[in-house]
Structure 1
Amino acid sequence: MRAGLVQLTVGDDPVANLAVTQARVAEAVAGGADFVLTPECTNLLSSSRTHQRSVMRYEDEDETLAALRDQAAQAGIWLLIGSLGVLTHDADGRFANRSFLISPTGDIVARYDKIHMFDVNVSETEVYRESAGYRPGTKAVVADTTFAKVGMTVCYDVRFPHLYRRLAQGGAQILTVPAAFNHITGAAHWHTLLKARAIETGCFVLAPAQTGFHPETNGTGRNTYGHSLAIAPWGEILADAGTDPGVTLIDLDLDAVIKARTRVPSLTHDREFTGP
């Protein structure tokens, strides 16, 4: 099975972002990808809650989702839309950061709302409070495809290994980690965290990422780390996209999952313990 990791540098205009995303998905398909993955925040990156609310849509009205579903059906591919910011009907008005798995018929096979919110103080000048605008999800998701069981996560989730263990013990063979990873924390932790999640679970890890500087119409912007990664169940980095937007193609042999878990069957070695 060939996977295609799409690396993007989106702005805060979903219409402009969609055109670029569709071109990259088409590029992956032309390269023979059966499974194409886009990053977190495929439709937009914006620090303005007012702007987000003005351009986001409810899921059933979202033009990016509809267009990418059509593209997946026309190409006959599986497509992971890493995540879209979508409106919700929640009483507090917060959005959802939602990942979608699309089948070759264009159907939504699974949805996953990002569980862990990026509420951090990266530096004196970079403070993030994702939970102020987005409400966290509450449900882990393992989705069935024709080629593997896929455990769906998003970005900051990668720092919570118990989630990935649950997904693997629930049958996942591939873990998806679409991201818009901060450039500072990315340089320090991205590769290490993703390799650890692969080794701990004996899963392939596929992590399509945002990269570079993301300008906003209000004159601000932010930087993301890039380096979309594909990691084997034994921990080898199969592909690293670097920092340029583009498409990275990787051939996956799912027998590697069985081999890694046979050599070190740690998913079956849980023990009960007390304390602290």
Structure 2
Amino acid sequence: MNVSVSPDPSPEACRIAAIQTVSGADVAENLRVAAALVAEAAADGAQLVALPEYFPLITPDETAKVAIRETEGHGPLQDFLREVATRHRVWLVGGTIPLVADADGKVRNSMLVYDPDGVQVARYDKIHLFGFRKGSEQYDEAATIEAGREVVTFDGPCGRVGLSVCYDLRFPELFRAMGKVDLIVLPAAFTWTTGRDHWEVLLRARAIENQCYVMAPAQGGRHPGGRVTWGHSLIVDPWGEVLACRDEGPGVVAADLDPDRIAAVRESLPALRHRCLAT
């Protein structure tokens, strides 16, 4: 099912910004850092700002996110996102926060989008749950996270936006199911091990094959609990060119999304029209 909402989109170029953080176990401190970086992005003229996956909390205790889970529409994390979007008059893509799941003891890893009036205009629950094992390094998101089921797009200041999270990057069929979009946003907390080999090449591939911009705000650095994330938050244009990137540490990555660039790429190489196996 493709869920979308459609306030009138603007055809004009707009500035987009990805926030990179190195979140730890202190939720209040994580929110303080995130708020300051959104303010920095807004001061630079960003109209749409995106936070990384797990921006409120990263800790070795995987059950900690269950303890702070919220019901949709209520809770301090959602209040934070709503207030920041309103204060800075930006469209805010809220990385991911833990929302209540159907299954007991689990959460949905949810991305909420707020407009400049603080109205929630979209929600995407991460569909593909990361599992990895290599020596002592191992992850099993399915132990505490319940997978989402719906493909989600929305219309904002930069045209149609498709939502995805981290491990979703490895499943190109998800992005095809979005239809024609102008921007894909993919908050992440990619591991250092997988990120160094796969992160940039996969993001550039998604931009090239969908002929759209891709913005990936990431966790980037050594976290207080010992986890190391790859970072390299970046913005890629429809030709696969990396427009901006931050290797590690907290910061802002920004670029201008130009609809004329999308149109020119699709006109010169009409791959989307040449699809033969579309369902």
Alpha-carbon shift at residue 251 of structure 1 (Å): 1.5
CA displacement, residues 62-94 of structure 1 (integer Å, 9 cap, x when unaligned): 312211211211221111112112233x13431
How far apart are the structure 2 equivalents of 1:129 and 1:44? 17
**Aligned position for 1:158:** 169
Instruction: Kindly indicate whether residue 243 of structure 2 is the aligned counterpart of residue 262 of structure 1.
Output: no
Q: How much does 1:98 deviate?
A: 0.6
Work out whether residues 43 and 85 of structure 1, in 8 Å CA contact, stay in contact via their aligned partners in 2. Answer: no
CA distance change for structure 1 residues 106 and 117 in 2, over 3 Å: closer, same or farther?
A: same
Show structure 1 runs of 5+ residues with no match: none
| TM superposition score normalised by structure 1 | 0.92
| Partner amino acid, structure 2, of 1:204 | Y
Alignment of 1:62-141 (within 5 A): 62-88=75-101, 90-121=102-133, 123-141=134-152
Contact 1:14 1:64 in 2 (8 A): no
Alignment partner, residue 208 of structure 1 = 217
Name the SS of the counterpart of 1:120 in structure 2.
strand
Can you list the C-alpha shifts for 1:101-128, whole angstroms capped at 9, x where unaligned?
A: 110111111000011000122x211111
Shift of residue 31, structure 1, vs aligned partner: 1.3
Q: Is the 8 A contact 2:17 2:48 kept in 1?
A: yes
Give, as a single letter, the amino acid of the residue that structure 2 aligns with 1:205. V
Gaps of 5+ in 2: 1-13
Q: How many angstroms apart in 1 are the aligned matches of 2:116 and 2:180?
A: 22
Matched AA of 1:270: R
Q: Secondary structure at the match of 1:58?
A: coil
Shift of residue 175, structure 1, vs aligned partner: 0.3
Q: 1:103 to 1:95 in 2, by over 3 A?
A: same
Structure 2 partner of 1:196: 205
Q: Which amino acid aligns with 1:110?
A: A
Could you tell me which residue of structure 1 aligns to residue 247 of structure 2? 242
Deviation string for 1:193-225 (max 9, x for gaps)? Answer: 000000000010000110111223xxxx31100
C-alpha RMSD of the superposition: 1.5
C-alpha contact (below 8 Å) 2:158/2:257 kept by paired residues: no
Alpha-carbon contact 2:158-2:182 (below 8 Å) kept: no
The structural deviation recorded for 1:55 is 2.9
The amino acid across from 1:136 in the alignment is: A
- Find the aligned partners of 1:159 and 1:92 in 2 and give their Cα distance: 28
Identify if the C-alpha distance between structure 1 residues 50 and 272 changes in structure 2 by more than 3 Å, giving closer, same or farther: closer
Letter in 2 for 1:60: G
Instruction: State whether residues 66 and 106 of structure 2, in contact with CA within 8 Å, keep that contact through their aligned partners in structure 1.
Output: no
2:103 maps to a residue whose letter is A
Partner of 1:223 in structure 2? 228
User: Residue in 1 aligned with 2:3?
Assistant: none
Contact 1:85 1:97 in 2 (8 A): yes
- The code of the aligned residue for 2:132 comes to V
Cα distance change on mapping 1:132 and 1:37 into 2, 3 Å: same
Q: Tell me, yes or no, if the aligned pair for 1:6 and 1:208 is still in contact at 8 Å.
A: yes
How many angstroms apart in 1 are the aligned matches of 2:68 and 2:150? 26
Of structures 1 and 2, the one with the larger relative CO (CA 8 A, separation 6+) is 2
Give 4+ residue runs of structure 1 displaced > 6 Å after superposition: none
Aligned amino acid, residue 69 of structure 1: R
Q: Take 1:209 and 1:49, find their aligned partners in 2: how far apart are those partners?
A: 19
Alignment of 1:7-46 (within 5 A): 7-46=20-59
- Alignment partner, residue 186 of structure 2: 177
Tell me which amino acid in the other structure corresponds to 1:176. V
In 2: Cα distance, 1:54 partner to 1:91 partner: 14
CA distance in 2 between partners of 1:92 and 1:235 (Å): 42
What is the CA–CA distance in structure 1 between the aligned matches of 2:234 and 2:128, rounded to whole Å? 21
Q: CA deviation at 1:53?
A: 2.4
Corresponding residue of 1:253: 258
**Structure 2: which amino acid aligns with 1:242?**
D
Give the TM-score taking structure 2 as reference length. Answer: 0.91
> Percent identity at matched positions?
42
Kindly tell me the number of residue pairs found equivalent between the two proteins: 265
8 Å CA contact retained: 2:158, 2:183: no
